[in-house]
Amino acid sequence: MNADKRKQAIKKKGYTLKQIADALGKSLSTVSNVVSGRYHSEAIANALAKIVDQPVEKFFADCKSYTTPSNSVVVRGLAREQKVDELRQLFSEAS
């Protein structure tokens, strides 16, 4: 599905991108950029796919970032802070 079809599917459900942005606490431009495929956001993409009752992989079939499994590792909490500290130290050494 391309960006125009995504917009049409959302409109068919009776919603505007502005309403969705307000409900998600995001800017209209951010939501619009996700719909158009210019910006990647799993959370927004999942919300949009939920609105139209489709899996995100199908709703964003033309966007590789939603259809290709990610090899990235999500690090949270203390482990994330430790990684950030490591990077800060690395960057300060490079200066």
Give the single-character DSSP code of 70.
P
Whether residue 76 lies inside any domain: the answer is no
What is the reported pTM?
Answer: 0.70
Q: What integer pLDDT is reported at residue 64 of this predicted model?
A: 82
Which residue range(s) make up the domain with 15?
A: 3-70
What is the distance of C-alpha 89 from the center of its chain?
A: 30
Residues for the chain: how many in total? Answer: 95
Over residues 9-49, the pLDDT tens digits come to 999 999 999 999 999 999 999 999 999 999 999 999 999 99
Q: What integer pLDDT is reported at residue 79 of this predicted model?
A: 85
Number of compact structural domains in the chain = 1
Residues 81, 44, 17, 36, CA torsion sign = positive
Which H or E run includes 50? helix 42-51
> Domain containing 22 — which CATH number?
1.10.260
What are the contacts of 2-5 at 24+ separation with CB within 8 A?
2/62, 3/35, 3/36, 3/37
Q: 């499994």: which residue's tokens? A: 69
Whether residue 44 lies inside any domain: the answer is yes
